[in-house]
Structure 1
Amino acid sequence: MRSLALLLAVAAGPALATGLDIEISGGTSGTVHVELFEDVAPEHVARLTDLAERGAYDGVVFHRVIDGFMAQTGDVQYGVAGADLSRAGTGGSDLPDLAQEFSDLPFERGTVGMARSGASVDSANSQFFIMFDAAPHLNGQYTVVGEVTSGMEIVDAIKRGDGRSGSVSGTPDVMERVTVTE
């Protein structure tokens, strides 16, 4: 059961304490800053910051990018630039999957959410996505972990994928370096 303090924090809105600076290169380049919502999704935020601190996200591609919807990245197992990317999007990390931490926060432009590996709501691991636009059908179905507070123009310029799946062919854009900020 959630503590009263956590429930009050969620009702007041997400706290902005820890963040990520994501340096992107490829067809676009620049730094995107994401503020992470530790009070809303503490386990997911801990996972993102742990992987970033270990350098696991460095060199990982945006493997699924759907215009008007979202850009997905974070497959630290199969999504590393320069490797065989034929399985990009099917992997995770060497850590166990996470139980969902759903909230009332909506999926709007700039929202960062955790991707899942299948139908199970408890299958988020290392992959995450950044919203290009609002997607109310995701509300309460995926864990919101943060929001882009600067560099959304860089996100908007990420190379788009093909077809309904959004799989990026050729040379995808890359998270060159991901660092944790305080």
Structure 2
Amino acid sequence: MQSKTGYAWEVLGIWVAAFAAVVSACGVGVVYWNITEENDWNKRIEAARIIKQLDDDLRERRDDINKHFPALFSGQLSAPLSKDNARNLFFSCKQDDKQDRKDSARCEARKTAGDVLNSFEDLSISYMYELGDREMLAEAWSHELTRYFMYFENFIKTVRLEHKDPKLWISIDSAVAKMGKS
């Protein structure tokens, strides 16, 4: 038979063990919450960096975009680039050095369109693979991404067809579709 003091110590030991288990579980919960919050914070910081980079890229090209594609800045919903214009834009850069001034301007327009779409592809990849906070990326650029995609859609299709690369700028398609659903 066990004495009353031994029994009391045994009960106290059980209570201390239970209390230690609860404290440990709370500690694990706090660590998990802290890691989750840290991850969310890092995603927000990365989203801000991506947004700033795209903003800087477009600011750098703003004059060229306005010069070659003024419909994008008209303030109205503009008609997309026609199939013929998209095709002419794609074939505007000649491989030889004998370009006249008009061809040179068209070639500059093609390069501008490609640069803009490449910048938006960076944003789209970041959005699709959650490299930054999706909500922040969508809130900052979904409208512009959709507008530019709709405007250059025929150019994108032409480039894909001529390069025989159906996945060129495909992340833009996916991001526009996903941002539209959210």
Fold match by TM threshold 0.5: no
Decide which structure has greater helix share: 2
Scaled by the length of structure 1, what TM-score is found? 0.26
Larger radius of gyration: 2
Which structure has more relative contact order (CA 8 Å, sep 6+)? It is: 1
